Every structure is written in structure tokens, then in C-alpha cells.
Structure 1
């Protein structure tokens, strides 16, 4: 850009600024899509700024209420800086810092977007508006000058214009306003969109209150050692961030079909914004103040195995608590889940008072932590694991039985029920009256227990929100926690959220025919484990089957049984077979310690399922020796090998059925 005098200087600065802004096109596109979705769904845009930024805020809202280029219906947008009567009254009564924030509190809703413009990124009234918007769960964006700056840190997302002068920043902001309007129109299809018919949301509303952390997995390869120390060098291949702590619990409730609001401290830093963005659109967030930077758990991993975990950030203690907003959201809850991760939420007197009120109105599930506060009186269900229960009661390890601990803690905490979870044994539930109830679990061998407590508590909370009895809610929670562990735990859940097209659905013993078999295989191979598969009808499981399965499991690290469906057995064995249905057969096989998963297939042979499973070893009973196996080529083409196993002579399902029939024939009739 050439020129002389002030105009030349301004044009040169603007040219440089626009060159930088061009790299923000993906952010403008994302904002345009999100804003269009919110407007069509009945949301609105609030905008504010000072001076020239106030003019640009009004420019933006005018383009939405009016039109940008093409004809379309008007959308709701309010420029807070143009509300002169409200502004002067607020400044007079509450001070200049509240001039936008109070309007945000009056007009803003969780489904709205707040756009803030500031060339410096430091105006106190704009910063206060950003804080209030995030407290309400709004999506808060900013157009600012050079970063980093306080406003960019206080918002969910921001575009910082690195221009040398205020004039160049404002000129670049105008370009961005026009680009955003164009992106909105593009997503609206440049045509009138009918007003959305709002259907009442019949999903149960679960409010999760707790401490959120950022889980960061740093994956890589180790092929060398440090030259200056006997330490491995991790060559990073990927970094993945996910919500942890109460954030994970909230996502699990949402995955169960609940409408979820998360009340949690959120730090005003890049990681805090990343956490909120990762939770949306599944979870609405009511942000509390957060002491210190975002709490993080960073795992360095190679071949799926953790080498070291580094915890930093925090302490995460709640600072500002918008009591009106929290009380309002708790008043609409069908159930509340308190997910304590020891950062201070459950020790905050303001939140404890609000949770005590909630416990008198709706079910409250309390997942405790040794460093947290005790459950509030009247909690519906408290869910400590065995170690937490022992610590809370002061018992020495193995001194008290889990059922006795549950009874003692229920009285100590003045809770309606306490469920002490005992790993793969299940849970021991104590309520106000009868003897404790033991809910056994299906053991999950070789799984990942990370996040099992969150899975248990989330299922219990959603079940209670839907009106279940406490005993039924605990039964569902035990089953879901077992499936969670078997399905790969928190790691598998994170992979599912990153790549939904490769859903690694939790695997129970009775895996349906449409299970994603390839994902199952990937999960069982985590950490470089060897995958073994064997198959059959298993109509009546007998000692010969058990011997074959035990031998097959010794060939590797995980065993999958591929089992013929009822229709497949009927075609192979004839009328009257199977004697036992597929669901019951799968459950019996899944209960064996040597079996990690069962897959049911409907074809006459397992070639199709083996193509997806790609086992390292395909094991068959020795009675198949000498006969061609149709699946051999499939297994070998996938890099696997076929191994024949010995069998117990004289044991077969057919002979058992035959002998049982003869015994019935010779049995004398019962005399009436």
C-alpha cells in the first residue's frame, strides 16, 4: 500500500491488520454458523462497546434486525450501548462498570450470544459484561485489539487485531462485522427461514455441581533416550484435550439423554475457554469464579500406556458465585449430581447452602472426595468407593465390611441412602430401613477403571431424575459401571467423542449383532495386546467348552468368543435347537474369567465377523482337525494364524441333549 501523510500511514496499518485478520476466517465461519443456529432456534445477539466500538455494535445488530444483503426475516439483536435510558439509570445507581453487565443479566439467556467490542480489551464495563454473560451460560465472543488482553481471556472466543493504532483496529473490526454478517446469511441459506416451533423439552434436567479439570493426553513414540540422562524421549504425534472431573460426569449424564447444566468454576484463560467449548453443545455451563489457572491432568503416553502424569493449575477454589443464577438453575432440576474433585466447590458455604435447599426439593446424588466437604444433610444418595468410605468413617482398611460402612455413613451423613462401591464386586446399599442391599457386578476383566465412579454416579442421577427408586438406580449404575470398565473406560469415551464415526460402544457380555466389531478389537488391543478369537454355538456350555476357552485364552491377552445366533444354530443343527437362547448363552460365556467379550453373528460361518475382528489367533477345538475351515483364509489374510486346541473326549452338546432325552423317557410318571 502506497501513500503519503496520515492517509498513507493509516492505509499501511490497515493493510497489515487485514493481512493478520485474514488468518481468522475459520473463526468467523464458526461464529457465523453458531450465531445462525442460535437465531433460528429463538436466541438473540446482545452487543456492546464504548465509543467507536459502540457504533460498530449497533452496526452489527442493525444488519441482523434489518438485512445485510439478501432479503430474509428479521432476527433478534440488541445493542446495549444504544439503550440510553437504561445506561444513564444504571450508571447513576450502580456505577459505570455495571452499565452493560446489568443489561446482560436482564436480557441474556443461556441460548444467546454476547458480542463485545473493545480496541484495548481492557475497558472495565466491557469486562464486567463478559463475566456476567459467562455466569449466565451465554456464548461470549470478543473483537479486540492486540492480544493477549483481559477481554480475550474473559471470553469463550476472541479475535485480536494486532494493529498499531486504534483507528486501524476499528477499521478491521468493521471488516470482521461485515464478514460475520455474510457468514450468518450464508448459513441461513440467503432465504427466509420459518420461525422454529418450540417443542417442550421432555428430557429430565440434571444439574451437575462440581470441580472440572482439563484432561490432556500427549501421545507419541519412544525410539531413543536423552543424551544427558537415562530418560526416554517422547516424540509427540498428537495432543487431545477433554473435560474431566465434573465435566466428564456432565457429559455422561448428557449421553444418557438428560438435559444437563454444569455449575463449575471456570478459569479465565485459554484452557478454561477450551473446556467450555468442549462441553457445548451437550452441556450448558454456569461459570463460577476460579482461583488460579485451569486445573490440568497431563498424561504423556506411548503405545497407549501412560509414562507420567503431570498435574498443574488451580487450586480452582470458587471465587465469584452468582447465587441468583445458581439458585434459578437448581430450581429447575429433576436431579442434582455433586461431582467432588477436591478443589473446593463442596466446601464453599454459599454453594452448600444452595445444595441444602435443593436436597429438600429433588434427588441429590453426592459423589464425594477425600479432600471435599461432607454431603449436605438430606442427600438422596451418596456414592463413595470403598477406600473413600473407609477414610470417611475412620476405619482401617479391611477392618469393616462394605455393608457396615454404608450403614454407618448413612447415619453420620444424615443421608437417605449410601452406596459403597467395591470395584468388580458391585455395590452395597444402605437405606433408612431394612438391611443393606448387595448389588453384584459382572466382573470386567482387563478393562480400564478410570472414570468408573463418574459413570456410576451419572447413571444413578439420571435414573433418579426419571423417577426410579434408589435401589433400581443403583442397580442400573452398577451395570453401567461394569460395562464402562469392560469398554475401555474414560479413554474409550474420549476416543468416541473425538471420532463418533468410529463408535467404540461399551461391550457387555451379550453384544448385539450390529456391534462395531472393529472398534471392539481396537479397544482390546490397546497397549499392544494379542487378540485371540474362537467360535461355536455353545448351546449348552459344558466342561469341553470350558477347557477349550481356557486354552484359547492362554494364547494371548484377550479372548473374544464369536457365537452363532439362534437362527444360525437352527440352520446348522435343525429344529429344536438351540435349547438355550442367544442372550442366555452369551451371558453364561461372558461370566467366565477367560472370556473378555462375546460377539453374536447371524451367518452360517464366522467369516464376516472375523474380517472386522482381525484376530491375531483363531483357535478351534481339535475335533475340527483334518477338515477345511472356511474362515482360515480370512484369518490369515488379516495377519492372524490358526491354532487347533485339544478337547475333552465324550463331551458334546448333542450327546448331553440325547442323554437327557433318554433319562426323561425312562423316568416313571409322577402319580397325581
Structure 2
């Protein structure tokens, strides 16, 4: 999906009325310096210079939605205490409908105090209740949801394990939402995910998914096993596993898997990134974007918030700036095969005709450029398999390549006619061709079709080999020979 399409989707966000159900809390930050050790005990003394109070838990989801311009309402429970009053006022100040918040006598409203010094968290102090909410509160909240569910285009369940999302309340909300045709996105907690059965998707991280599935995730195979197990056991439309710096993975019925790379440029603090992901994914889905594009937009938003210290949010302008950077960054064109295959499948499903070619491209010259432009004209996009340094040495000797593989890849990625570059280490690109299965396989004029590696693979699924004439007298070897000749003459 293009940058413009994402931009248009973000402009539709203010039309998506969203219901957030989850544990509400206050996040308090005490910022200061730690330059002394206490004489009372071997601990640092923090001189507090600044205090900051923010919405935490499901409140951070509400804060994310407000930053995105999304109108929302909240269902939750607070105690009959000062923190409860402060919390409701903070949420109301965002323009959120708080009529779905119940007050439970004797319950402590969650407040987490983090002491920060030198950009690090020194200690956290929790004041809260974690036992399940009372049956009367469950009944009150279910009645509210039943009466108001028709107002919303999407529901987000934000579970922080503080006692709100009991089995009865969670399943009751999921049933009401499904009856109303409203999708349900869940940020889960704990090891028993059965209470989320029937949701649209859930978004655990890798560790959480491992615990919930009972499968230790340590490889692509175990990742897929865990994702598919949770997908089917919980009757989801899609299973989402977030993987920190590796992005996220989506698992669909029928075995389809999509891996979405991260878009973080700098990581200072991952606090609240999950709240950002589920907020953006849910609203983007309600806007009609396919799940894969919802995830890509959510990744762009998460890439913004992890670059900030403390629990933060991303605005539409910041998300679009991150998307612009990713789109313009040459490295975005350079993929490994595992990342490229799902992109290729998505492109094929949209009807794109893929052309593949390969080569060393050591010292890029005019002959290369005209060849690559002609290859690109054979279809809708061009994927270039680039020989690694090691494979070139095996093919051409220890003196080659002149230019290293990373530099060659970035130079080629700068060409408009090339859509993706994938480096391969084998002597031939057969493994790439088998995985990509292009519509056309392009080779230079020094080949005949019967000598082209991968011809049988391409022709077996209805594709064809295209031989493109080289520009006479233009070659890397010739350039090197002229340089050496000039050097000897001088």
C-alpha cells in the first residue's frame, strides 16, 4: 500500500468511534538526578526536579486514540478514592465518554510511580488492587455495553491483569460485539487466553505467546506453530504476535503468514508501544484497511513511540513522517528472502507481474543501466538477485568484487527501475527463483534460453525467459582492464 493510501486512512480516523475496555491506572514519573549514595543504606539518592502524571494501562490506549483524533468511550472500574477522581478527570479531559466507568467501594485505583534518573528507571512503586471486580460491577458494565455497542465501529480490550476483564465480562462483551458486527481487538495478559475466544485478533508479544500456547518460540518454525495454535484454539480471524525489534507476524486461516518488519529508527523506551500498536491496528481495520496494512501502519506508529522516553503516543503527522522516511530510505528496498517472499505473494495476489534478474553488478555502468531498465519494462516490478562477495570470488577470482555487496546493493536500490534487491550466497540464483517464481526471468544477451538457470521453474508455472541484448562494448571487466592499462602507461 502506498504512502498516499495510508495518509488517506489516517484522515478517516476521526470518523471511527471506538470503545476501550480495560484496566485504568495513573502513571506517575518523578524525574531527577542521582549523584549521591544514601548514608542510611547503599542506595542512590534521587533529587527530584520534575514530576509528570500520565494515563497508564487502558488509559494510554485512550491517550493514543485522542492523539490520533479518534472519538472514544471507556468501560472500566476505579476505586472510591482520590486517585479514582483524578483518573476520571484526566480521561474526561481528553474528550472521552466516561459514563461507562464504574466506582467500586473499597477498591484502590491503580497508581504506578516510577523514579527516573539519568534517563533510567531507578525504582517503581505500585499502589493498586488486583483482585477480580465484584459481580455487581460486572453486571453494571455488561448492561452499559449492551445499551451502547451500536455506537461503535471497533472495540479494544486492554488487559493489564488488574481484575477488570473477568471471564464473564470479557466473553459477555465479545458476544455483544459479535452480535452487533463490531470487530474486537485484544491486548492480552496472563497465560489463559480462553477468555478472549471469539475476538477478531489478539496481540501478545513473543514471550506472552510462548506462555499462552505452551510452545517455546525460538525459531521461525516454532513461531508459526504457536501462532497457528492460538489462531485455531481461540477462533480468531487473524493471530498477531509482536516481536519487538523484529516487527510483528500475522497468522491467517489456511496457513498464510505475513511478517511485517519494524520501522523504529531509534529505541529509547518500549513502554506503551503495545498500546499504540493495538490502537492503530483496530482503528485502521475499522477504516477498511487489510490486516497486513493495518499492521504496517501500526508498526510505523510504534516506531515513533519507542523513540520517546516514557509512555508516549504518536500523532498522525509523526506516523506519516516515519512512513515517508521508510519509503524514501534505500534500505527499504533491500530484503532478505524470508522478508521478500510474503511481499511477493501479496503483489501477485494484487495482479502484479514480477520480473526477476540477477548478476554481480560490480562497478555499475551504462550497459547495466540500460539492461535493468529493459528488464523492468518486461513486467510491473523488478526484483534483482545480487551475488554476494563470496559467490563473486568463487565465480571470478579473489580479486573481485571491486565493490562490496552492501555498497552494490545500496547503489542498485537507488535506481528507479529496481523495486527490490535480495543478496544470495549460492553460485546460482536457483533458490531465489524457486521461492519467487517470477512471471518473467530476464538474462543478458550472452545467454540462450536453454542455458538460463531457473528456466524450468519459470516455465513450469506459465512464465517465460526473456533475453535482453547487452550494449556493445560495455562491461565491468573492460572497465577494469582499461584502468589497469592506463595505470601501466602512466
TM-score by length of structure 1 reads 0.44
CA distance in 2, matches of 1:242, 1:202: 23
CA contact (8 A) 1:220 1:238 kept: yes
CA contact (8 A) 2:130 2:161 kept: no
**Per-residue deviation, 1:356:** 1.8
**Per-residue deviation, 1:346:** 2.1
SS in 2 for 1:220: strand
Aligned to 2:62: 250
Q: How many residues align?
A: 328
Change (3 A) 1:323 1:510: closer
Change (3 A) 1:215 1:371: farther
1:220 to 32, 57, 62: 32
CA contact (8 A) 1:456 1:478 kept: yes
Equivalent residues in 2 for 1:228-243, closer than 5 Å: 228-243=40-55
**Per-residue deviation, 1:369:** 0.6
CA distance in 1, matches of 2:312, 2:170: 33
Equivalent residues in 2 for 1:523-562, closer than 5 Å: none
State the Cα deviation string for residues 23-64 of structure 1 (Å, max 9, x = none).
xxxxxxxxxxxxxxxxxxxxxxxxxxxxxxxxxxxxxxxxxx
**Per-residue deviation, 1:507:** 6.5
1:460 and 2:281 are equivalent in the alignment: yes
Aligned to 1:324: 143
1:488 and 2:301 are equivalent in the alignment: no
Which ranges in structure 2 are unaligned for 5 or more consecutive residues? Answer: 1-12, 327-364, 366-401, 408-412, 422-469, 476-490
Aligned to 1:425: 246
1:356 and 2:162 are equivalent in the alignment: no
SS in 2 for 1:325: helix
2:101 to 287, 303, 307: 287
Aligned to 2:154: 335
SS in 2 for 1:365: strand
**Per-residue deviation, 1:343:** 1.2
Which structure has the greater CA radius of gyration? 1
Change (3 A) 1:309 1:282: same
1:315 and 2:130 are equivalent in the alignment: yes
Change (3 A) 1:238 1:316: farther
Change (3 A) 1:310 1:506: farther
Change (3 A) 1:264 1:350: same
CA distance in 1, matches of 2:309, 2:191: 24
CA distance in 2, matches of 1:392, 1:353: 22
**Per-residue deviation, 1:244:** 0.7
State the Cα deviation string for residues 50-88 of structure 1 (Å, max 9, x = none).
xxxxxxxxxxxxxxxxxxxxxxxxxxxxxxxxxxxxxxx
CA distance in 2, matches of 1:453, 1:430: 18
CA contact (8 A) 2:153 2:183 kept: yes
State the Cα deviation string for residues 165-213 of structure 1 (Å, max 9, x = none).
xxxxxxxxxxxxxxxxxxxxxxxxxxxxxxxxxxxx9611110111112
CA contact (8 A) 1:426 1:441 kept: yes
Aligned to 1:643: none
CA contact (8 A) 1:207 1:337 kept: yes
CA contact (8 A) 1:292 1:316 kept: no
Aligned to 1:414: 235
CA distance in 2, matches of 1:318, 1:581: 60
**Per-residue deviation, 1:410:** 0.6
CA distance in 2, matches of 1:208, 1:375: 17
Change (3 A) 1:334 1:489: farther
SS in 2 for 1:346: coil
SS in 1 for 2:277: helix
SS in 1 for 2:35: strand
**Per-residue deviation, 1:468:** 2.0
1:402 and 2:402 are equivalent in the alignment: no
**Per-residue deviation, 1:435:** 2.0
Aligned to 1:259: 71
What's the Cα RMSD here? Answer: 3.7
Aligned to 1:368: 188
CA distance in 2, matches of 1:491, 1:377: 29
CA distance in 2, matches of 1:459, 1:202: 12
- By relative contact order (CA 8 Å, sep 6+), the higher-ranking structure is 2
CA contact (8 A) 1:492 1:504 kept: no
1:269 and 2:269 are equivalent in the alignment: no
CA contact (8 A) 1:211 1:316 kept: no
CA contact (8 A) 1:366 1:375 kept: no
CA contact (8 A) 2:203 2:241 kept: yes
